Amino acid sequence: MDNDDQPGCAIAPQIATLPGLLKDASSGPDASYLLCPDRDWTYSEFSHAVDELAMGLVATGIRQGDRIAIAAPNSAQWLITWFAVTKIGAILVTLNVAYREREFDYMLNQSGAVMLVCSKQDGEFDFVDFVQNLRQRIPTVRHYVFLGEGGFAGSHRWEDLLLPGAVADLADFEAVVEPDDPAVILYTSGTTGDPKGATLTHASILASASAQAEHLSLSCDDVAIGHMPFNHVGGMTCTVAATMLTHGRIVVLPRYSPKLALEAVDLRKVTIFIGVPTMYTMMMDLPEFPAADITSVRTCIIGGSNVEPAMGRRILDTFQGARLSNLYGLSETSGGCIISAANDDLDTLVETLGVAIGDFEIRIAGDAHQPLPFGQQGELHIRGGCVASGYWENPMESERAFLPGGWLVSGDMAVQRPDGRIELCGRRKEMYVRSGYNVYPVEIENVIAADPAVAMCAVVGVPDAIYGEVGHAYIVATQNSDVNIEAVRARCGEKLARYKIPAQFHVVDSLPLTPSGKIKKVALLDAVRGKIAL
């Protein structure tokens, strides 16, 4: 049955939890929901699978408050796991399949995960051997579940956890789930180098998704492309939850591929296309792009920052008649919190991120967190239902970012115009964005500095025409040592996700220092631009 047959597309105001969201979406006529490479799912089929997995989790001993980690590409199984976990009051810990030893070790231990749901492999990487070798270092994990065939002794197949039974048995579990309960722990790195687990609640996810759906006028007729990673808010909230709120459909792609994205637009008639600038460029540069039918796209969303002029012009000229919107959000805001206004022209899109959506509030603050007037640059703070409840079991970092009165410190510098629109000026943090992923230099520096031949190192983000920004690592060798760049690169590949590996490694005699002895990274950026020599 087409979604057009549904009786209305309005957002149900009574939805307060993720189980409630699924119940609402699957209570009407049986409409299509997930359009996947192997099969399509209706809302009722999806809901039935969620119940079966929830029953299996309960039978395994999973209870309210337990943490279940997942590391897998986008799939129906990923989403079934998310909704099954939250249906029984447990918490999903989202891991990127690009993560390696350091990330898995820290995040599984810090979250206290009791179960790991994982792909058997990702490309050429064998997760079965990887996880088996990691087992002694993650003592809280009692259950290992692999998607697909294979595993090791004592592990489970995901499909074997599906347990048909009396769905009424789940009612008692679902009844105790409250809006302010944690639903997701999503790790984002910080200035100390240790990732912080942003704790997203049922209410915060739904607040962001609902505000986005209303601001962009989403409806049950929409087909959203699902290639943003589900392990992050771009996929989880901005794509999945926002679409489910209005009973729309999602074309699920395992990961971004320009060719698969174009085929989805052409064959599945995608109406909502969301991505970072690199995604648009790679797709529009395909030789087969001119022959594809892209007329179904009515809204193009660019996440991360305000659109570049040339990119914006090209998108508007290519997707004729489509609305172009910036979308700004953080892990700590559970998804989008600032989006371009419907009537923003290209000049405004280039200059601003947009306006606060829903009933969220924005202020620009000084160093003492005091509000600053319009037109004055300061740090962007956000307040509203979208704000996460804090960082998982990390009171020190929570106190720094989540202020009294409900304000979230974003770490981004901005200016607010009198009309409410926000101009992004830069990052207070040293974070840079590569292909839509946030990268924090200190995490990479810690890996590089572990090499005994390295005395000092620093990583900076450098503008790049393809990826937006890439890392450049500057290394000073210890006395009487030679740094093996290929060995350092290989170490980064073992310990870090691929997108975090610096594009360039420079061995230098010394690093520029401030009077207090800190590395002057501004000077390193000047060296990249050729303004100074090191």
At 421 the pLDDT is 96
Residue at 322 is within a domain: no
pLDDT at 516: 46
Residues 417-426: pLDDT tens digits? 999 999 987 6
Confidence of residue 75 (pLDDT cuts 50, 70, 90): very high
Angle (CA) 348-352-358 rounded to 5° is 105
Helix (H) or strand (E) holding 350: helix 346-351
DSSP of 397-461: HHHHHB-TTSPEEEEEEEEE-TTS-EEEEEESS--EEETTEEE-HHHHHHHHHTSTTEEEEEEEE
Domain boundary among 171, 199, 227: 199
Q: What is the CATH number for 523?
A: 3.30.300.30
Tokens representing 112 are: 């206290």
- Give the number of other Cβ atoms within 10 Å of residue 269's Cβ: 16
Q: What are phi and psi of 430, to 5 degrees?
A: -85, 0
Cβ atoms of 510 and 476 closer than 8 Å:
yes
| Distance between first and last Cα of the chain | 65
pLDDT at 428 > cutoff 90:
no
Q: What is the mean pLDDT of residues 500-506?
A: 95
CA 165 to CA 153: how far, in whole Å? 27
Residue 28 included in any domain? yes
For position 517, what pLDDT does the model report?
A: 54
* Cβ-contact 67, 6 below 8 angstroms: no
- The count of domains in the chain is 2
Rounded to 5 degrees, φ, ψ at 464 are -140, 135
Task: Give the Cα separation of 265 and 261 in Å (integer).
Answer: 6
> What residues make up the domain containing 26?
18-32+40-199
Of 181, 199, 217, which residue sits at a domain end? 199
8 A C-beta contact, residue 306 and residue 276: no
Domain boundary residue, one of 133, 166, 199: 199
Task: With beta carbons less than 8 A apart as the criterion, state whether 71 and 95 touch.
Answer: yes
Taking 70 as the threshold, does the pLDDT of residue 192 lie above it?
Answer: no
- Closest of 389, 378, 390, 327 to residue 356, by C-alpha: 327
Residues 97-141 have pLDDT tens digits of: 989 999 999 999 999 999 999 999 988 899 999 999 999 999 999
Model confidence over 298-338: pLDDT tens digits?
Answer: 999 998 666 777 788 999 999 999 999 999 999 999 999 99
518 pLDDT exceeds 80? no
Residue 443 domain-assigned? yes
Q: Kindly report the pTM of this predicted structure.
A: 0.85
Query: Is 325 within a domain?
Result: no
Q: What is the CATH number of the domain that holds 46?
A: 3.40.50.12780
